[in-house]
Amino acid sequence: MKSILKSKEMSIAAIVIALCITLTFVSPVFLTADNLLDVLKANSVIGILAVGMTLVIITGGIDVSVAAVTSAVCVIIGKLMQVMPDHFSSLLLLFLIAPLLGILLGAINGVLVAKIRIPAIVVTLGMMSIINGLVLYITNGVYLNSTNFPKVFIQFANIKVFGVSVIILIFMAVALFTWYILKYTLIGREVLAIGGNKESALRVGINFDKVQVFVFSYMGLLAGIAAIAQTAYTKSVDPNGMLGLELLVIAGVVLGGANIMGGRGTIMGTVLGVLLLGIVQNGLILAKIDTFWQKVFTGCIILLAVSYDHIQYKRSQEKLAKIEVEA
Amino acid sequence: MSDYLLQMTQISKTFPGVKALDDVRFEVKKGEVHALIGENGAGKSTLIKILAGMYEPDQGATFLFEGKDAQINKPIDATLKGISIIYQDLSLFSNLSVAENIYIGRDSGKKPWKKVNWNEMENVAKKALQELEFEIDVQTPVEKLSIAQQQLIEIARALAFDSKLIVMDEPTSSLSAGEVEKLYRVINKLKQRGISIIFVSHKLKELFAVSDRFTVLRDGKYVGTYDAKELDEDQLITLMVGRKVLYEKNTEKGLAGQTLLELKGLTKAGNFKDISFELKAGEIVGITGLVGSGRTELAQAIFGVNKPDSGEMTLNGESIQIKSSEHAVKKGIAYIPESRKTQGLILRQSLTNNISLPILKELRNGFGLIKRKKEVDLAKHYIDTLDVRPAHPHRAAGDLSGGNQQKVVIGKWLSTKPQILIIDEPTNGIDIGAKTEIHKLLRKLAAEGLGIIVISSELPEVLAVSDRILVMRHGKIAGELDIAEATQENIMNYALLGSKASTLKKNVQASKEVSV
């Protein structure tokens, strides 16, 4: 299994490297530790969400409510922080509440998808709309400023280990942990099995409903963690700041080699996919290209990658559907 | 202890409207290779699915495994009891490794956070593969393996589960001759270990090569169980076909007017090869053969949705290449696919909307809007001529019975004024009375000058409607029979053996000897 998936990841890695070399020539600023760390930091939230989305997409599902769920958690912890004392325990409480809120919202998605069998896109679209509306109602669309956030939180947000921001570290930890789940736990293997062949997975006794609830809840958990990372990154809460972010998240996963129809996807690929998107954006900024072109570029890259994937898929299907013709 | 590993008796299975199995018995001895045979739709798959825990039999069934009442409610129950099913389409996880595919299912029901032990997984897999003398790196993803190798992986999975009974459904359908030989060796090895094998296949030669005993099913009923030594191929065919007389054989001779369609050497790699025949106006040509013999693919090629690689097609004497289904319709070819409900009709819409669908463009007025009155009149016309009941143009198509739905589909395509009508399994899932009505309708349409191709697995049906019968086997036309000389036996001979039948007389004799 390693060789083929590696080859797919290798090709993404090769594109990332080629892009880096090109950008080094375009702008001397690109290949500096500061710039690269900035790119990583700026894309960590997308990265955390994309890691969770990888599991959802492997099982053949989709979750378009991720950005909304993250926003909701951001708003709630932002509101809490405005009244919290400046004490270490506040931090611990936040680290407990945010993931739990995320899991709760994710689990609602998961139960609706698995038990009532509503298509994932419909469930999560509904969830997205409800949350976006509530967030605006609660905040009136106004920023929650960091002036009255507990100082411990600001200190936490500024932590650096060997110059690497805590936000990047959270992203890396989430990626590693999820990789472990996918590779070494029964539930992780069941996620892959369902993606590979749902019919057979049921035949060998895998509980499809349970796995679905798991992937959506896990997505929620990561959305909760992403909310902490996002709040630490911006040191404020912008109720509209994440609108439309789900598209970049899904794009990162798909660019990373996951098949949107399910079955295929790796954490390594997703991390590379997110980096690719981030570097393209950074490169366009450094090359002083107008910002609106960024969206056009991103869209083109996504369409190209997905078209390639589907053409491959169709070919493999055609190969399967053959009748033995006597010579 | 009895010699029997599996004893299934009084097995019936009723689906809405169809009795798929009717009081069937099936008993497999320890360490034997037992062939389960019958025509398409005889009930083999249903029986296998009951064995696999995918279907529940009707009340009153007894199902003993190793002499004990087998409680099989879910597929995994069967696996854990030692029954492994190797499906024709295989049930491997192409994205997972060989080791995982062999091991999967063992942890079912354990804690989700249980750590997966890759070492143990690989050891189990290696051991099973060793027993099969199949050398392969257990970390290889299954999608990189050939079909034959994948099949061995499935067998290895069965071994790893200590299976006592392995069901192989059409195991050789995608294997080369050399690979089939290897499979036989594996089967013999399994037999020596005391494992029983149920072998489902249409290929009589290989059934005789590997099987110890046969159980024959026909129309969901148990025909009998025979020792392989007491039968030959012809006798087996007679048993499979039986003496069922459902409908009268067609005796009318079609008009056979001018030639409408002529195929010369039509070939598509992996679909069909070197197909030549002609269809005349007023004639019905029946195409039969086993499922997967390339019949539907050929029909789709004529209709332009499955482009052939080579060969020539002539329509009304002019050479033509049909580029798309729209092109086919424009040239007067209509194709009614097998699945009426998914491909033929919009069940929630009215009869009118269904019938007018292919010719909506012609029903537009100067503003591009549909002329509703004309549309309803058109629908009424076909409802009357085809005797659709209830004869109400505004009823939803889904409210009608299967037979009447099929008439609506036929009406829908007649509205395009075709000269050629291709109809795939015209009476699939329709009750007997309605079937006869559809057959009469097809004969009537032919008498009015339409050239019709009927594709069907039901031999009595082919015999009831056709003027000529083409039998396909492995993508080629194995035989062409005029209705006067056609019988179920000689059709089956072509379909299964690909050769001209041994004489009818011998068959009749055989059926006497093997009294059922």
Return the pLDDT at A43.
Answer: 96
Instruction: Check if A199 contacts B (Cβ < 8 Å).
Output: yes
Spacing of C-alpha A277 from chain mean position: 12
The alpha carbon of residue B381 is apart from the nearest alpha carbon of chain A, in Å, by 41
Instruction: Look at strands B284-289 and B310-315 and give their pairing.
Output: unpaired
> What residues 300-319 of chain B have any CB closer than 8 A to a CB of chain A?
none
- What spatial distance separates the first Cα and last Cα of chain A, rounded to whole Å? 35
Whether residue A186 and residue B110 make contact (CB cut-off 8 A), yes or no, is: yes
Whether residue B95 and residue A326 make contact (CB cut-off 8 A), yes or no, is: no
Whether residue A196 and residue B93 make contact (CB cut-off 8 A), yes or no, is: yes
Whether residue A4 and residue B144 make contact (CB cut-off 8 A), yes or no, is: yes
Give the nearest partner residue to A323 out of B94, B97, B292, using CB atoms. B292
Residue B100: list chain A partners with CB under 8 A.
Answer: 189, 193
Whether residue A324 and residue B297 make contact (CB cut-off 8 A), yes or no, is: no
Instruction: Check if B73 contacts A (Cβ < 8 Å).
Output: no
> What residues 492-511 of chain B have any CB closer than 8 A to a CB of chain A?
498
The answer to whether the beta carbons of residues A190 and A196 sit under 8 Å apart is no
Can you tell me the ipTM of this complex? 0.82
Whether residue B108 and residue A206 make contact (CB cut-off 8 A), yes or no, is: yes
Whether residue A185 and residue B113 make contact (CB cut-off 8 A), yes or no, is: yes
Whether residue B108 and residue A205 make contact (CB cut-off 8 A), yes or no, is: yes
Spacing of C-alpha B140 from chain mean position: 33
Whether residue B474 and residue A325 make contact (CB cut-off 8 A), yes or no, is: yes
* Bridge partner list, A160: A165
Return the pLDDT at A319.
Answer: 62
Domains in chain B: ranges and CATH:
4-231 (3.40.50.300), 246-332+418-516 (3.40.50.300), 350-417 (no CATH)
> What residues 5-24 of chain A have any CB closer than 8 A to a CB of chain B?
5
Q: What six digits make up the tokens of A97?
A: 């509440």
User: CB pairs below 8 Å between A and B: how many?
Assistant: 116
* Bridge partner list, B482: B468
> What residues 450-479 of chain B have any CB closer than 8 A to a CB of chain A?
473-476
Instruction: Check if A213 contacts B (Cβ < 8 Å).
Output: no
Instruction: Check if A193 contacts B (Cβ < 8 Å).
Output: yes
Which residues in chain A land under pLDDT 50?
Answer: 1-5, 321-324, 326-327
| Edge-to-edge strand ranges of the sheet holding B451-455 | B333-336, B420-424, B451-455, B284-289, B468-473, B476-482
- What spatial distance separates the first Cα and last Cα of chain B, rounded to whole Å? 29
Residue B158: list chain A partners with CB under 8 A.
Answer: none
Which own/partner pairs from B72-77 qualify as long-range (CB within 8 Å, at least 24 positions apart)? B74/A205, B75/A202, B75/A203, B75/A204, B75/A205, B76/A203, B76/A204, B76/A205, B76/B105, B76/B108, B77/B53
Whether residue B116 and residue A184 make contact (CB cut-off 8 A), yes or no, is: yes
Return the pLDDT at B515.
Answer: 33
Residue B114: list chain A partners with CB under 8 A.
Answer: 185-186
Q: How far apart are CA A255 and CA A305, in angstroms?
A: 6
Instruction: Check if B105 contacts A (Cβ < 8 Å).
Output: yes
Q: How far apart are CA B419 and CA B411, in angstroms?
A: 14
Whether residue B96 and residue A1 make contact (CB cut-off 8 A), yes or no, is: yes
What is chain B's pLDDT, residue by residue, as a tens digit (516 residues)? 568 899 999 999 988 767 889 999 999 999 999 999 887 778 888 899 999 988 889 988 888 998 888 888 888 888 888 999 998 777 899 889 999 999 988 877 788 888 889 999 999 999 999 988 888 999 998 888 888 888 889 999 998 888 999 999 888 877 777 788 888 888 999 999 999 999 988 778 788 889 999 999 988 889 999 998 888 888 888 888 775 556 777 777 767 789 999 999 999 988 899 999 999 999 999 999 887 788 889 999 999 988 999 999 999 999 999 999 889 999 999 999 887 766 778 888 999 999 999 888 888 888 889 899 999 999 999 999 898 888 889 988 888 888 888 899 999 999 999 999 999 988 877 776 788 889 999 999 999 999 999 999 888 889 999 999 999 998 899 999 999 899 888 898 888 887 654 444 344 333 333 333
Return the pLDDT at A10.
Answer: 81
Residue B112: list chain A partners with CB under 8 A.
Answer: 185-187, 190, 210, 214
Q: What six digits make up the tokens of A159?
A: 């932590």
Interface test with A, best of B104, B110, B117 (most A CBs within 10 A): B104
Phi, psi values for residue B79, rounded to 5°: -60, -45
Consecutive H or E run containing B221 = strand B221-227
3-class SS letters over chain A: CHHHHHHHHHHHHHHHHHHHHHHHHHCCCCCCHHHHHHHHHHCHHHHHHHHHHHHHHHCCCCCCCHHHHHHHHHHHHHHHHHHCCCCHHHHHHHHHHHHHHHHHHHHHHHHHHHCCCCCHHHHHHHHHHHHHHHHHHHHCCCCECHHHCCHHHHHHHCCEECCEEHHHHHHHHHHHHHHHHHHHEHHHHHHHHHHHCHHHHHHCCCCHHHHHHHHHHHHHHHHHHHHHHHHHHHCCECCCCCCCHHHHHHHHHHHCCCCCCCCCCCHHHHHHHHHHHHHHHHHHHHCCCCHHHHHHHHHHHHHHHHHHHHHHHHHHHHHHCCCCCCC
The answer to whether the beta carbons of residues B163 and B83 sit under 8 Å apart is yes
Q: Where are the domains of chain A?
A: 2-317
Return the pLDDT at B181.
Answer: 85
CA dihedral B186, B192, B196, B199 (to 10 degrees): 40
Residue B473: list chain A partners with CB under 8 A.
Answer: 326
Interface test with B, best of A184, A194, A217, A324 (most B CBs within 10 A): A324
Nearest chain A residue to B161 by CA: give it: A204
Residue B201: list chain A partners with CB under 8 A.
Answer: none
Return the pLDDT at B123.
Answer: 94
Read off the DSSP letter of residue B341.
Answer: I
Give the nearest partner residue to A1 out of B104, B141, B174, using CB atoms. B141
Instruction: Look at strands B165-169 and B196-200 and give their pairing.
Output: parallel
Return the pLDDT at A311.
Answer: 81
> What residues 143-162 of chain B have any CB closer than 8 A to a CB of chain A?
143-144
Q: What angle do CA A217, A220, A221 make, to 5 degrees?
A: 90
The answer to whether the beta carbons of residues B246 and B431 sit under 8 Å apart is no
Instruction: Check if B440 contacts A (Cβ < 8 Å).
Output: no
Whether residue A204 and residue B105 make contact (CB cut-off 8 A), yes or no, is: yes
The answer to whether the beta carbons of residues B27 and B4 sit under 8 Å apart is yes
Return the pLDDT at B343.
Answer: 72
Instruction: Check if A317 contacts B (Cβ < 8 Å).
Output: no
In B342-419, beta strands by DSSP E:
none
Residue B143: list chain A partners with CB under 8 A.
Answer: 4
Return the pLDDT at A307.
Answer: 81
Residues in chain B: 516
Instruction: Write down the CATH number for the domain with range A2-317.
Output: 1.10.3470
The alpha carbon of residue B91 is apart from the nearest alpha carbon of chain A, in Å, by 5
Instruction: Check if B382 contacts A (Cβ < 8 Å).
Output: no
Nearest chain B residue to A194 by CA: give it: B93
Q: What six digits make up the tokens of B504?
A: 């009818």
Return the pLDDT at A14.
Answer: 85
Q: What six digits make up the tokens of B153?
A: 């992986």
Consecutive H or E run containing B37 = strand B33-37
Give the nearest partner residue to B96 out of A186, A196, A324, using CB atoms. A196
Nearest chain A residue to B104 by CA: give it: A204
Return the pLDDT at A70.
Answer: 97
